[in-house]
Amino acid sequence: MVHESIAATNAVVTLDVALPGIVWGWIITMNMWAKSIGTGVIFMLFYLLKKYPTESASFRFPVALVSFVFINIFLLFTVIDLHQMFRFWHIFFHPHLTSAITVGAWMATLFVGLLLLLLFTSFIKKDDAQFDKVLLWTTILAIPVTLYTAGLMAQATARELWQMPTESVQMILAATLSGSATLLLMDTFVNKLSYEAKRDLGIILAFSALAAFILYMAELVFGPMKAEEVIATLAYVKSGGEYQTMFWIGQVTAFIVPFVLVLLSIVNRSSNILKLAAVFAIGGLWVVKHVWLVIPQLLSMS
């Protein structure tokens, strides 16, 4: 950067206060990761019910339950991250609708309501038709629920790395990645999916991994050509950076390994490898999200 180049413009900070460190840490990563699973499984269920209705029939209740559990994990981590967590109800009684946080919170609440309805219709009422009707609305709502985090990140003017277009896509891809992976793992217990269904899930997984990986690499290589702040932020994941190792662990486990494993599974017509891919994808996703959340916060704003 400028300061290192010329003797005359060589500039060094010699006195300043200690700056705040990382504000949004692993708790927020948990939040994003759990939400991806919670919405992702709904997307997958919708798809499976459309394409493989008989096989996936028995997934209605389990998926609704898994989604409900993970959405609640997401909500729990959101609330405990607050420095005044018992005041979270302010979001409902003093809402500020320009904020993605508020809009997201309201939508997530509605989403939980719909999930409860899904659970009710599948477990208590046992009415599949009604379930499917509610599922349609739930799936539609799942889209903005997945996306609002991207909006939140975009509204953080300070963090140049978090751009709405890429983050929107990344959020959707994270949902489809983790959703397909979760369904694959759930099938270990439900055991009703045909090879084709599992292969479809695997393809969704692989495609999500590939697309996400391409986006991250594009940012890594081409982002610095656009903005000085991006250069400074990405320095943390490039050579010598604090988060270089963690970044690549994430990229490999979340994207490269699952992609390769899915290809292998298709070639070998084996669905066991798919489960392995799923585990890698879910674990790796957490790491990827964490690095991308943290590195812009290491940059000094002033």
Partner 1 sequence: MKLGFLVDLHLCMGCKGCEIACKVENEVPLSTWRLRVKYVDVGTFPETKRTFTPLRCNHCENAPCERICPVSALHYIENGIVNIDKERCIGCAGCVMACPYGAIYIDPETQTADKCTYCAHRVASSMMPACVVACPVQANIFGDIEDPTSNISKYIMDHNGNVQVRKPEKGTNPHHYYVGGGNVTLNPLASFRVEGHSLFNKLTHLPVGGHH
Partner 2 sequence: MYLESRRTFLKGAAFTVAGAAIAKGVFTTDAIAESVSESKFTNTPDSLSFYPPLDQWEDFKELDGDDWKRGGIARKGVQSAENPDGIYVNDFAIVPTACSNCEASCGLTAWIDKKTFTVKKYMGNPLHPGSRGRNCAKGYAAQSQMYDPDRLAFPIKRAAGSKRGEGKWVRTTWDEAMTTIGKKMGDTLRVGDELSKKSVMFHVGRPNENGFTGKFWETLNTDAFNSHTNICSSGGRTPTIMWANDDRTSPDWANAKLVFLNSSHAADAGHYFQQSASFIADARKKGAKLVVMDPRMSNSAGMADLWIAAWPGTEAAIYLYLVNRMLQENQVNKPFVKKWFNWEVMMDNKDYLNFMVKKGYIKALPESNTFDAYMEMLKELYTPYTLEYAVKETHVPAYKLEQLYEMFIWADTSIASYFWRATAAGNRGGWVSGRTGYLALGLRGAIGPKGGTFFHHWHVISVAGKGGAATVGQGKRGANVPKVDVWNELTWPPEWPLSNYEMSYLLPHLLTDTEWQQKWIKRGLNVPTKLAVWIPRMYNPVWINPDGFRWLEVLKDESKMELTFNLSPTWSETNWHVDYVLPVGLAGERHDQHSEATMPARWTSFRQPVMRVALEKAGWKPKNPNRATLEAHIKAGLGEVWEENEFWFDMGVNYIDPDGSLGIKKMWESKKNPGKPVTISEWYDAAFGDNLPNLKSTATSDPRYKNAEFPVYEYMRDHGAWMEENHIYSPQEREIKEVGDKYISHGHEYDKHHVEIDKRKPMHTAMHGNTQTVKYLSVSRSTVRRWRVSQLWIKNLTSSRSGLRLMSGNGLSMRFLSTLVMMKRRKR
Under the binding rule (CB under 8 A), the answer on residue 95 touching partner 2 is: yes
Q: How far is C-alpha 193 from the geometric centre of its chain's CA atoms?
A: 25
3-state secondary structure of 48: helix
- Mark 273-301 as b/e (b = at least 16 C-beta within 10 Å): bbbbbbbbbbebbbbbbbbbbbbbbbbee
Q: What is the pattern of x (binds partner 1, CB under 8 A) and - over residues 187-216?
A: ------------------------------
Under the binding rule (CB under 8 A), the answer on residue 86 touching partner 2 is: no
- Residue 45's binding partner among partner 1, partner 2, none (Cβ under 5 to 8 angstroms by kind) is none
Under the binding rule (CB under 8 A), the answer on residue 94 touching partner 2 is: yes
**What does the alpha-carbon distance between residue 282 and residue 180 come to, in Å, rounded to a whole number?**
10
- Token pair 């890594």 in the structure block, residue: 220
Under the binding rule (CB under 8 A), the answer on residue 83 touching partner 2 is: no
Spatial contact of 63 and 40, defined as CB atoms under 8 Å apart: no
3-state secondary structure of 5: coil
**What does the alpha-carbon distance between residue 56 and residue 137 come to, in Å, rounded to a whole number?**
19
Toward partner 2, which CB reaches closer, 92 or 195? 92
Least Å distance, CB 147 to partner 1, is 16
CB atoms within 10 A of CB 12: 5
Spatial contact of 211 and 174, defined as CB atoms under 8 Å apart: no
Under the binding rule (CB under 8 A), the answer on residue 8 touching partner 1 is: yes
- Residue 267's binding partner among partner 1, partner 2, none (Cβ under 5 to 8 angstroms by kind) is none
CB atoms within 10 A of CB 124: 8
Toward partner 2, which CB reaches closer, 83 or 94? 94
Toward partner 2, which CB reaches closer, 93 or 189? 93
Least Å distance, CB 1 to partner 2, is 22
Among 26, 73, 102, 107, interactor with partner 1 by CB under 8 A: 102
Under the binding rule (CB under 8 A), the answer on residue 92 touching partner 2 is: yes
CA distances from 249 to 24, 40, 284 (A): 21, 23, 7
- Residue 17's binding partner among partner 1, partner 2, none (Cβ under 5 to 8 angstroms by kind) is partner 1
Toward partner 2, which CB reaches closer, 91 or 232? 91
Q: Which stretch binds partner 2 (CB under 8 A): 38-46, 88-96, 251-259, 275-283?
A: 88-96
Residue numbers of the site for partner 2 (CB under 8 A)? 92-95, 97
